Amino acid sequence: MKSEFEVVRYDLEKDDYRSAANYAEKRYMGSANEYKKRVMSNAYKSLIGPLAGKRILDVGCGTGRGIADFASEAQIAIGTDASQDMLTIAARKLGGQLGTGFVRSYAQQLPFPSDYFDLVTTLNFLHLFSLDTQRGMVAEMKRVVIPGGIIILEFDNALQGLLLGMCKRWLGRERGATPREIRYVIGNGCTVLKIYGAVFPLVWRAFHHFSGLFTQVEKVSYHPPLNRLSHRVFYKLRKDLSLLKS
C-alpha cells in the first residue's frame, strides 16, 4: 500500500522497534511491562467510562492493545493501522469476537463517514510522527466522531520528571511533546475535558514488584500537578456540538 503520507512501517521483516513479530513481547510482556500497561490502561479506561452500546474506533491500533480492552463492552470496536502484519496479529488476538473488525488505512485518511463513531482513541502512536502529521491525524479523528463524542489521545510527555523528559528529547531517545505542542496538535473544534498522567518516570521499574499497591498509588497522577509530570499524558476531548450538521 503506497502512500504520500508520513508513514512509520511496522512489519514482520523489521529487526528494530518496528518489528511486528515481537512488538507486543517487547512492550507488554514481563512483570515490569505488564505493570506499566496496567497503569496506562487504568488511566484511559477511567477517562473513557462505560462503553455499552457505543461505536469505538482505535486509530493506529497496532497489535490490539486498546481493542482488547474495548471489544467485550462496546457495540462495535474497529481498529485501523497501516501495517497489515500488525492487523493480522491483532485480529488473531481477538479471535473473531463479535462486533470487532480491523481495517487497513492511514490515520491521515480514515475510510469512515463523518460523525459516525461515539468514541475515537489513539494509544502509543502519535509520538512516532511530526507535529504537522499528528495534527492532520487528529483532524481526521475529529471528523469521524459524532458532535459531542469523545476522543482520547495518548502522548509521550516532554515534561516527565521535570527535566527528564526534555533530556530524553534532546538526546533523541524519546519524542515527548510539550503542552504547547499538544495544543497545536489538537487544533480547534473540540474542548479538552480532562488531562490524566500515567506512569511515574523511572521508579515504575521498581513499583512493579508491588503492583497491587502501586497501581493504586499511580492514580494520584490523574490530578494536577502530577498529571503534567508523568511519563504519559492522556487527553480527553469532546467534539463541539456546534459542529452538528443542520
pLDDT, tens digit (0-9, with 9 covering 90-100), for 108-127: 999 999 999 999 999 999 99
Predicted pLDDT at 222: 97
Q: Give the domain extent around 231.
A: 33-240
Torsion, Cα of 198, 182, 47, 238 (10° steps): 180
In a domain, 21, yes or no: no
Helix (H), strand (E) at residue 164: helix 164-171
In a domain, 229, yes or no: yes
In a domain, 15, yes or no: no
Residues sharing a CB contact under 8 Å with residue 91, sequence separation 6 or more, in sequence order = 64, 102
CATH no. for residue 143?
Answer: 3.40.50.150
Pairing of strands 76-81, 117-122: unpaired
Whether the CB-CB separation of 71 and 99 falls below 8 Å is answered with: yes
pLDDT, tens digit (0-9, with 9 covering 90-100), for 12-28: 666 666 666 666 666 66
Helix (H), strand (E) at residue 78: strand 76-81
Cα(222)–Cα(233) distance, rounded to whole angstroms?
9
In a domain, 218, yes or no: yes
Using alpha carbons, select from 59, 40, 61 the residue that is nearest to residue 232. Answer: 40
Q: Cell numbers 505488564 label which residue? A: 34
In a domain, 41, yes or no: yes
Whether the CB-CB separation of 168 and 174 falls below 8 Å is answered with: yes
pTM of the model: 0.92
Whether the CB-CB separation of 229 and 159 falls below 8 Å is answered with: yes
CB 109: neighbour CB atoms within 10 A?
A: 12
How many domains are there within the chain? 1
Using alpha carbons, select from 194, 205, 182, 192 the residue that is nearest to residue 32. Answer: 205
Residues sharing a CB contact under 8 Å with residue 45, sequence separation 6 or more, in sequence order = 69
HEC assignment per residue over 132-143 = HHHHHHHHHHHH
In a domain, 198, yes or no: yes
Predicted pLDDT at 135: 97
Predicted pLDDT at 31: 86
Predicted pLDDT at 242: 79
Side chain identity at 44, as an amino acid letter?
Y
In a domain, 76, yes or no: yes
Positions in the chain short of pLDDT 70: 1-3, 12-29, 243-246
Predicted pLDDT at 246: 46
In a domain, 27, yes or no: no
Residues in the chain: 246
> Residue 219 has what DSSP assignment?
G
